[in-house]
Every structure is written in C-alpha cells, then in structure tokens.
Structure 1
C-alpha cells in the first residue's frame, strides 16, 4: 500500500540513516543481480488479439502539443492467466520526441511478477529495425518514494534505444505476468480511455472466465464495453479512435479525475473488502500476551487519564516511519511485536500497533483504511482495496469517535482537539460494522501574526518585532519543522523571507520557539529584526520619503494565476484562518484616515482595517477559507476578487521633508489644562492637610517610629511622586503637543474618535491628581498623621479602579489598536495594582503598628 505524503519532510541523514541506506543499497544490488530470471524474450501469448497500427497521416502536427504521437495503445489482460499484455506504437515528430521516448521503462515487482519482451522495433522509411537484445535490457531499483521512507521493491527494466531519429516509429510490446498474492485472486482495476497525450487508436481487452463475476461502473461518459461470450470465457472490448490529449486546467484539485474510465471489481460490497483484509490485522493470543507485557512496562507509571495521549505520542514520535512495501507487504502490516522491537513501521504497522496497544488498556480502537486525497470519490467507486492508500486508527472514548493518524509526528493537543487530515471517509476493519464510515474533520488551524514596527525618526531606522502564533495543524507542522532542522538555518530562511521587502534587514535577537503542545496545541515564534533602511526616497521627488508595509505571509493565498476558459474545479487552500496584523509606532502624530473593506465569496472572506490612534497605525488583514474547491464557473470571479485583495495588501506611508505642519510644538491649551488641574488639586490637597484630622487610637506618648513593614511603604511612596514627574516629562510630547490637541479638536468622524479625545483629557487630569495626591500621601506618611491610613487606602483602591477602568474603556473603544505587547503590559499593570491593594489595604486596616505609628494631628501651619 503506497503511503500519502502528509507534509513536507526535509530529510537529515544521520549515521543511522546512512547505515540503513548503505545496507539497503548493498541488498538492492544483490537483489537486482538476480532479476534476469524474471526478464525474458519470447513470442507474444497465443490469446492475444492482433491489432493493426494506425496508418493515418498526421495533418495537424502543431496542434499535438507533444514531441511524439501515439498511433496505437493496445492493452490486453487475461485474468485467469494473470497475464497483462501492452503494445505501444509511437511516432517521433521532432527532437523533443527523441528525448521523450528513446528510453523504454517498465516497472514490475519481481517478488510475484515476470516480464517478457516480445519486440522492440524502429520503423524507418517503411523498414523495420530490430532493437531487442537481452544484453541491452538493464534493471534498476529506483525507489521513487524513498524520500518518504518507503521502499516498495519495484524494479524498472529499461532499454536505451540508440540511433533514434526524427520521423521514426517505435513499436514495442511486452507481457507482465503475475498478480499480487495478497489480492487472493480477486480482480480489480481501472481502465482509462483518455490520457495526457493524443492517441490515434486505443484498444483495450479483458478476458475472464464466465464464472467470474465482474462488476463494472462507468465514469465521465466512458464508452460501454463490447461483451462477447466464447466457450467458457467472457471478453470485454473497447476500441476508440482519434483521442485528443486530456489537458488539465491549472490548480485543479488532486481528487478531480475528468478522464472517461471504467471501474472493474470482483468485490460486491465494502464489507467483502473489509472481511478479506481484516484478518491481516489480527494478533494471536500468545503475541498479544507478549505485547501486553511490553507495553504495560512502558506505560506502568502513566496515570489512567493520560494513557491515551502518552500511547499516541509514543507511537507517533518514537516509532520511526519506514516501510518496505513490496509484494504482500503492500497490504499486510508488520506484527505489533516486531514493530515495537524494531521501532519502525509504515502506516499499516503503526496503526496496527496503536490499535492493539489501546485495546490492552481497555480503550476501543480499530484500524481504518483511508485515501490521502481521494476520499471525496470513494463512495462512488466500486468496492476495492485499491481505493485506499493509507491507514489510520478509529478510537471510541466515552461514546465519542476520534481518529488518530499515527504517521503524523510531533502532534499536539488532546484527543478532543487533535487535528485529523480531511480523509472524509474510510473502511473500518476488525469491527462488527466493517463498512465505510464518515471521518469527522476537525481542525483549529489558526495563524495569528503580529508585526510591530518601532520607528525612531522619520527617514531613519526601525525595529521590527514579529510574533506568530500557530494552532492545530499549523502548530504540528511548525513543531516538526523545528524538530528536524537546525534553528539557525530556520532563522536564516526567515531573514531571507523578509529581505524581499527590506533588503538590508538584520537579525536583532535570536528566534524564540515557544511550544504549548499538551494543552492548547499552540506554537509561538518570536523574531526581532533591525531595519536600517525602512524609508525610501521617491524617484519623482527625493524630498518625499515613503515606507511600505506588506503582509508577505498572506500573499501566497491571494496571488493567483489566471485561468481563462476554465472547465475544471479550482483548488482552494483549506482550511486557512489567517490574521496578519501590522502595528506601526510613529515618532510623531500623523494624519491617518480609518479604512475598512471586505471582499468575499462563497469560499472565502477577506477583511482589511486601518485604524489610527495616538501615533499608532494598526493594519489588520484577515483571510479565511470555507471550502477546498470552487466550481469552474466561479473561478473567474474568485481570481478577480483575489486580484482586488492584492491591491489592498500594500500600505504606503509617505512623508514630505519640505512640509512643516502647523501641529508641531506645544499645545498651550493642553498645558493650561494640566497646570489648572495641578493647581486645583493642590488647593484641595492643602484643604485636606489643614482641615482634616482624625482621633488617634493610641496615646501620642506610646507612638512608634516608622519601622517594620512600613519601611517598604516608605520606599514606595517616596519613589512614586518622582516616577510620576519623570513619566510626565517623558510623555510630555504625547500629552501636551500641538499634534495631540489637533487630534482632540478635529471634526470627529466617529464616536470612537470623540471618546479617545475625551480619554486623553481625562488622563491628563487624572495624572495631575495622582501627582498631587502622591505628594500629599508622602508628606502625611512622614509626619505620621492620623488621617494617613484612611487616605492611603483610598489611594490604593482608586489607583486600581482607575487602572481597570482606563484599560477596559481603551480596549472596548477599539481592541485592534493595541498590540499583544500593549495588552500584556496593561494586564500586568492591573495585576500589580491589584496585588498592592490586596496586600496593603488589609494591613492598614488591622495592623497594630499602623495604629501605634500614625498618631499625629495637624497643629499649625507647617507642612514638614
């Protein structure tokens, strides 16, 4: 059974891999050296019907679109004799055709097949030149799936034809004898009546006993067979002429097959297929006992509720993916004990081991045959084992069904949120149902990208901080990528990726890989870069600078090739759930208008938002797909809409160095608001200081000096006013600039803008109040005034309440304006304020030291 390629695998050959490959190469050379007995030269079988080559003249060579033209394809099969005859006659039209057909390659499995060559002739100017010689027949074991760690034992017999010329006709035939014994003489195949090459004449013939019942099902208006009964045989014939090449449209789904064909199978039902192959997934009592001892030792200290997860990850990660699939091994799995001992196996073997191991721990599990990409069509096909090319495991837990693919390594999450590829349908084995069942497709395949640019000055450099969060299948893929490749090489690839936009970009700090595999199945990757040339001079006017911000990760989904006059479905990447957010932190205020657009169709939705607030630009691109393909008649609209998306992706920020706006300098209005606020709160502070006293709970003669835990309070309240003054100084331009006032006083286009303006003024007033109150608290603290405990409690409570209120209001006005870093810092501020309040408010309420320390009342003019 051929395995599907579930994801890209970069192969890193270590010492063990080298040893395996070297051993395999030595065995292959020894194996191939004995293949001459499987290859012979002889006459064609007597049951073959002679079919004449086409002698028609080619009049439209330019329309053929190939370097050669097949005058005859002749395929004849004798099921009872397990003999399969092929006859090709091909004319070479140009020099490209010489390259295409001068090598004859025939694949066969020597473990159960023999090949007999009947003729290889070159027909030139009406004369036939014999090119068949045993010495010219070579064999090689190419193993085309070796990069996927699969070895199927197929051997290629090839003949290199010499002295091939333009205009020659190559005429050759051969017979392959033998069927895989795993089929148990049950016949099933597909016969196609159109290929990717033009054919002048196509002949197919199938001979079988009239006692053998064959089911036939025709697809895509395939021609019906001419059926003949002769003695004890039944003969099926098809003969077609002048067949055009089947040309696929670009980007056609892999499951789509428009070729006229007939499906032939000796199986009457899927349960028959399941019955025939279920027996290969059974284990004897003796072997089960041995397996039980091994796995119970492996998982003896694992809690019961973690068993399923531990067993799954062990078989996915610790049992290496490797398969030798020649002959019987194409459909029969290696026994679980051997797989566990050798620590490798193909999909069948790993699934068999996983199912049996789970059963030992009383978890219901069964192997299930699936197809890696053709699950959509299986229900329409005749029952046949060839309808599948992969094997996974069906698990029943707490009356719920789950599906595990044991060939996916580094997979995260629990059984409830485990990613399962979209196999759609499968054939259940070793279960009383033994029939096709639907496979629930569930995935949390989200990608969230945050790119944050910190720009020091216009025309200068910038820092770029990128946080990418993958979930579901995306997390699995990234986890596998980082496990298989060196992190430095990955970082280099990432750097090269962004150099397409910023050629001089440099790494600022090492890439971070943060993995939450067990619970959320999320992978977070953090990158940091320095860009010394973010700004570019306009070619029309060098005094104008511009900078481009572009979501490179989104381009692969939106930059589509055109497909005019399409007749086939169009493949859509699915599922895609991508949000690409770009945050630009500017050194000065900017005139940015908010934007919003939506482009959508039945299969996708794209939204684009531009928001601006307080020297911060937020560009948010969201792209999501809802299905894996669209009908041909909707392809033009789909592509056209994605061209519109392409036009939305690039965002240019321009700056005219000759222009000096009116919004530079200080806003005297805002500064006056701040000064008035400080003056007003100072007045109230003095009133509180001079007019508010409270009876001491301890005699003054028993008063204590500031000590104990109050030392920590003393440090805090001393530093707080200083920090407030420094913060107001560093944020002076933000609060009191003319640009800020211009934003506040502009004609607001939305309630959000107006709310932000009011929020800025409120923060100025609050900061003035906070500064005055913190100074008052410090004075009262060191004078050990009786009113200090009550006022400091108010101080802690109000600080926490305002921090929460300010954060909630700001985020609720427009959540997209704030980066993840902004949000984290805001939440940290709330947590710190809450911690301080929870610790010190009860302390000032019940502490005896507090009552014995703060015993002084106001008794005069003095402040210190």
Structure 2
C-alpha cells in the first residue's frame, strides 16, 4: 500500500471486540451462489451476498461496524467502488479491517492496491459553514467487472467535553435498506453499553398484506442487544408511496425531563447577560426608534443582517450556546448564538420571546420519534405579541417588514426552552394578507393586443422577488414572464415552437415600488402582442388567460399511502380583464361559469362580469395552511382542487365573427349545442 504512515483520521487494524472477528474462510463460505442469487444477477439487479451492520453506543463513544460482500456486475457499480469518499467528524476515526475481492473463487487482499488521501471537508466555508470534518478518499486499483468486493470497516466517534449532550443521550435511527438491492443475508445489531436504558420504537413496519402495524416500543438495558435479520431479502416497500420501516433508538426519557435538562443551560446564559453591559451603542439606537412595532423590526433585522451566520457543525452537535456578549462583539454566531442574542434584545424592549428547538428536515417524523434533544438541528425564536405567535429564524438574511408582514416559516413541531415543556404543535395559519395580488388587463384593438400586469407580492413572496430581481439579468426575467404568458394565453396550443420574444413585443418589466415596512413588492409588466387571439383548428378565435399557478397540481396528483398531504399554499388574489373590439358570446358556458368552494382547508371564489365586448373574473384563494390533511379528508380536498382546475382558474371569451353567415353559424351552433 502507498500509505505507510497512519494518520489520526484512519487506521488499518482488526475490529474491536464488540464487532466480532470473521476469518477468510468464513468470508469465502458465505459467498455462495444460490437460486435466489442467480435469479437476481440474471435480472441485472445488484446483489449483496451478506451485509452485517452493528451500532455500538456507550457513554464514551458511538461506533458503527460494517461487513459486506457485493457484486460488481454493473460498470457504474464498479466505478463507484473503485473511488469512494468517507466523511468523518471531529474526533472520529475510520478503521479499515478488510478490503478484498473474490475473483474466480480466490480471495485477494486489495489493501496493498489501495490509496488513501485525507482531505479537509471545507467546501462550504465561504458560505459560513465551518466544520472539522475530514474527507477520506479511497481509491482501489484493479477492480474488475464480475468481482465480488468485500469491505469490512468501522467508524469510532470518541466524545469530547464539547459532546456533553452525546455523552448524556443517545439517538440513532436505523432505516430499512434501499429496495434496489437484493440481499442473501442481512443483519443489523444495536448494542447498548450505556449506563442508561435505551428505548427503541419500530415504526412503519408492515404485515404480509402491506398494512402498517402499530408501533412497537421496547427497551434495552446495559449489555443488551437488538437484532434484525433477514435472508434472501428484497425490501418490499413501495418507495414512491410508502415510508421505509425504521427503528428509532433513544435514551429513555420524556419531553418534560428533557426540557428541564436543557433549560438551565440556556437560563444561565440569559441571566448572565445584560444588554446594557455589552451593547450600549445598540441600546442607544434602539431607544431612538419610535414605537414598539418598529423596535421589534429593528431588533430582528439587526441580528439577521448585522450578525454573520456561521454554521459550526461541531458546535451544533452540542447545545450550549455562545454568550450574547461574544456574539455581539464578534458579529458572528450560529443559530443558537443568533437566537439567544435576539431574545436578549427583545427582553430589553419588553417583548415576550423564547428560544425553541426545531428540525425542518425531519419535522414530520418528530411526532413518531422517541423524545430526544438530538432530534433537533436548528434553533429559532418564538415571539408572543398582541395575542399572536410569530416564529423568527435569526439566520435568514434580506427579510423585511413589521412582525405581522414578515415571511412565514413552515414547520409543525417544536420544543420550547422553558421549564416542564412538552413537544408542541403549531396552530394552523391563515394569512392576514394576499401573498400574491395580481391584476391582468389585456385589451385588443384590431389585430394588436396590449398586455398589462401589475402584481403585488407580500411576505415570503416579497422577500423572494427582491432577491430574484437583484440577482437575475433583466432580459432573463422578461423571458421568464414571456414564457409564463405564452402558456397562460394558450399560445402554446396554436403557435408552439415560436420564439416568445417574437410574440411579446416591446416587453418590459420593473419593480415599481418596494415598501420594506409592509414587506410589499409591486411589479409591473407590459407588452404588445400581434395576432393576440388563440385560433383553434376550426379557425374559431378566443381570448384566454388561465393562470396555472392557481391550479395546485401537487394536491391533485398526491398519492402517498403513509404521508398525509402537507398543506403549505399561499393566499392569492387575481383580477383578469379581457376586452376586445369584437363581439363575444356572452352566454358561453365557461365564460360565465363561477365557483364557490368552502373546504375546511381553503376557501375559493371566482366571480365574473361579462359585457358585449369582454369579461372580467375575480378570483380569491384563502388557505388554512401549515398543517397536515388527514387521509380520510383528503379526497374531498383533492376533488375541490379538481373543481378549481375545471376552467375556474382563469377566463376565456369566444369571438363571434362579423358577417351574416357567421351570425347564422353561431346561432346554429348555440341551438344545437
């Protein structure tokens, strides 16, 4: 092997005693073709002869062991096996026990053909992500198609004082293997060597008919093991519509005890921190701001924009926050540091605020997980103001507005850092404003149409639109609007393939106002359209405007069996005016059609005003958002969205062509329609 000097991030040695010891002959004996193996290989499926995985936890370390043998029958699989990367955390060591191949019945040691490089894993440092992680790059020479590769390795994470939370609590989630692979033998073992009992919960396991079983909860005392073992195994989960079975392991506890464990750590920081002592200049600026609403806005935007966000992965593994005086002095900190500083500032101005633990990535699963502080990966601030709850992410940048106008954060579960707390579920949310409020005017004279759109964005939409216009070329923005209108006006049906720049002439778009206090951005788009009518194959002419953003395709297409539908749509309002110098059919079904939907999860209303030369539609969509829709109520929800999609998301008018024969044709069509 090219690397003779062992470094602290990896070693080549035998497994630890808890992992066991497997000899060459046993390895060879376990790699036997069976009828099941031959069937999988003949079907082109990657095949794993055996996979033994063990997870070991004590109050001093967490470790994982893996021993597996799998085929290299596919060129892509061979390529991935030849070069791989292993990421290790600070104080984590990667142990290589065996790298071998079985070739023509002979077991060959490949460690001499292995090249190992240790690299810093710092590819995001310029974005404020700091980590002491190392990347171990492993290159194995002379792997050949149809080899069987045998890998045996471990990862050992020894706790430091900074890992006080990991010393005290264990958290591990085993997820059933990917259903792409077939396994001759599959075995997972969890070993508890902690002083405390570890609870485990089996969730989303299924019976033979595929029905989800009730979760099963048990406990492991010190020295006990949990084992799952399968033979001739292919995971039967329908991964597109079902959740993979998993087992959640966590130090036995409850939410109340966990909140009482974490609260004193934060309370010590709060009580030792006085804004008057470390930030007199900030206080001077705060005192000069008139009105409590503006003071709150100033406090939030100061922490968001003036304190640089640094995500320190090593620090996040614990829960002890940086002192706010240090955060203020250094003008940088992670989510805990920024949230604590914001709370201290809000305390000074007399606003009730608390720090809460969340996990946006696994929010849905927290209700199923066993109670654990290690289930959370982010910290935000909860503000109670004027009988309303607001959640502020202090790490966000370029967010504006008074408290009620700021962007809404979507998540459901959180643990408030106070005494005697339980896991809390947020209330559903109704917007006090329209996130999108758009007026469309399309006026046609002769064979030319003048298109005018005015759109007002609020909340998250306003924040996103500011960033979009700041970072995107104007020509690209105009092309984006043109492309949207190409479909909205149904030109995609009669002139598909035409360059949109040749359809929308003199197109222009600008931000006409930006109210940072109301967090409201107003955009104006104008264009001239030659040949403005959509013409069908029978040469009938129409003016149409249908906004497909109003149709919630994700709601209509949702098919998951286990996951409830997560409702997170914005409130919207549209006024669409289509007018022409031609006579229109004022009684056409879809032109006059209106709708009223009163679903428990959204209200939808479209109203029409029809004249002899055009029509208008007024659409309002008001959702009850930030919640899961129970499966027994989902079909009604889906069907109501189908109703929206049934020509209730825009407006179309039919042109009555001039001339006596065309009038007769129109009358005949109406009579026998």
Q: TM-score, normalised by structure 2?
A: 0.79
Change (3 A) 1:646 1:619: same
Report deviation, 1:540. Answer: 4.4
Contact 2:199-2:218 within 8 A present in 1 as well: no
**How far apart in 1 are the matches of 2:527 and 2:323?**
51
**How far apart in 1 are the matches of 2:632 and 2:301?**
44
Change (3 A) 1:192 1:60: farther
Change (3 A) 1:88 1:435: same
Contact 2:414-2:423 within 8 A present in 1 as well: yes
- Among residues 575, 588, 591, which one is paired with 2:585 in the alignment? 591
**How far apart in 2 are the matches of 1:280 and 1:528?**
54
Change (3 A) 1:76 1:313: closer
Report deviation, 1:248. Answer: 5.5
CA deviation map 1:459-509 (0-9, x unaligned): x12111112223333333334434555666534433343345552213444
**How far apart in 1 are the matches of 2:352 and 2:366?**
25
**How far apart in 2 are the matches of 1:482 and 1:240?**
55
Instruction: Show the 5 A alignment for 1:619-630.
Output: 619-623=617-621, 625-626=623-624, 628-630=627-629
CA deviation map 1:346-393 (0-9, x unaligned): 322211110112223343332111121544443442222221121111
Contact 2:442-2:449 within 8 A present in 1 as well: yes
Q: 1:118 and 2:97 equivalent?
A: yes
- Among residues 259, 265, 268, which one is paired with 2:251 in the alignment? 265
Contact 2:48-2:68 within 8 A present in 1 as well: no
Contact 2:453-2:524 within 8 A present in 1 as well: yes
Corresponding residue SS for 1:313: helix
Name 2:165's counterpart in structure 1.
Answer: 183
Change (3 A) 1:604 1:171: farther
Contact 1:339-1:349 within 8 A present in 2 as well: yes
Contact 2:279-2:328 within 8 A present in 1 as well: no
Name 1:682's counterpart in structure 2.
Answer: none
Contact 1:292-1:360 within 8 A present in 2 as well: no
- Among residues 454, 474, 481, which one is paired with 2:461 in the alignment? 474
Name 1:577's counterpart in structure 2.
Answer: 571
Q: Unaligned 5+ residue runs, structure 1?
A: 1-33, 664-864
Name 2:226's counterpart in structure 1.
Answer: 236
Q: 1:196 and 2:178 equivalent?
A: yes
- Among residues 218, 224, 227, which one is paired with 2:202 in the alignment? 218
Change (3 A) 1:168 1:421: same
CA deviation map 1:685-716 (0-9, x unaligned): xxxxxxxxxxxxxxxxxxxxxxxxxxxxxxxx
Name 2:235's counterpart in structure 1.
Answer: 245
Name 1:98's counterpart in structure 2.
Answer: 78
Name 1:554's counterpart in structure 2.
Answer: 550
Report deviation, 1:61. Answer: 2.4
Report deviation, 1:301. Answer: 1.3
Contact 1:225-1:238 within 8 A present in 2 as well: no
Name 1:159's counterpart in structure 2.
Answer: 138
**How far apart in 2 are the matches of 1:58 and 1:36?**
39
Change (3 A) 1:287 1:624: closer
Name 1:533's counterpart in structure 2.
Answer: 531
Alignment RMSD: 4.1
Name 1:498's counterpart in structure 2.
Answer: 485
Contact 2:55-2:189 within 8 A present in 1 as well: yes
Name 1:205's counterpart in structure 2.
Answer: 189
Name 2:514's counterpart in structure 1.
Answer: 515
Name 2:382's counterpart in structure 1.
Answer: 394
Report deviation, 1:91. Answer: 2.2
Corresponding residue SS for 2:280: helix
Contact 1:372-1:423 within 8 A present in 2 as well: yes
Contact 2:273-2:325 within 8 A present in 1 as well: no
Contact 1:69-1:93 within 8 A present in 2 as well: no
CA deviation map 1:375-415 (0-9, x unaligned): 44434422222211211112344676543222333434433
Contact 1:193-1:202 within 8 A present in 2 as well: no
Corresponding residue SS for 2:288: coil
Name 1:85's counterpart in structure 2.
Answer: 65
Larger relative helix fraction: 1
Corresponding residue SS for 2:550: helix
**How far apart in 1 are the matches of 2:594 and 2:538?**
30
**How far apart in 1 are the matches of 2:367 and 2:246?**
18
Larger relative strand fraction: 2
Contact 1:511-1:528 within 8 A present in 2 as well: no
Corresponding residue SS for 1:467: strand
Name 1:840's counterpart in structure 2.
Answer: none
Name 2:51's counterpart in structure 1.
Answer: 72
**How far apart in 2 are the matches of 1:226 and 1:171?**
34
Name 1:139's counterpart in structure 2.
Answer: 118
Report deviation, 1:324. Answer: 2.5
Name 2:17's counterpart in structure 1.
Answer: 46
Change (3 A) 1:633 1:114: same
CA deviation map 1:78-134 (0-9, x unaligned): 42552332223222343343244443332211x221221111112223222222259
Contact 2:405-2:458 within 8 A present in 1 as well: no
Change (3 A) 1:176 1:301: same
Corresponding residue SS for 2:409: coil
**How far apart in 1 are the matches of 2:452 and 2:369?**
52
**How far apart in 2 are the matches of 1:134 and 1:189?**
37
CA deviation map 1:578-631 (0-9, x unaligned): 333321121133222222245786655655554312523113455555465556
**How far apart in 2 are the matches of 1:456 and 1:125?**
81
CA deviation map 1:211-255 (0-9, x unaligned): 4322333322499799998xx8333333233443365555x7xxx
Name 2:8's counterpart in structure 1.
Answer: 37
Report deviation, 1:296. Answer: 1.0
Report deviation, 1:188. Answer: 1.7
Contact 1:69-1:91 within 8 A present in 2 as well: yes
**How far apart in 2 are the matches of 1:58 and 1:135?**
28
Report deviation, 1:569. Answer: 3.1
Report deviation, 1:416. Answer: 4.6
CA deviation map 1:321-364 (0-9, x unaligned): 33232356664434323333443333222111101122233433
Name 2:615's counterpart in structure 1.
Answer: 617
Q: TM-score, normalised by structure 1?
A: 0.63
Report deviation, 1:76. Answer: 3.4
Aligned residues: 619
Q: Unaligned 5+ residue runs, structure 2?
A: 207-214, 492-499, 664-673
- Among residues 147, 163, 184, which one is paired with 1:168 in the alignment? 147
Change (3 A) 1:417 1:228: closer
Report deviation, 1:514. Answer: 2.2
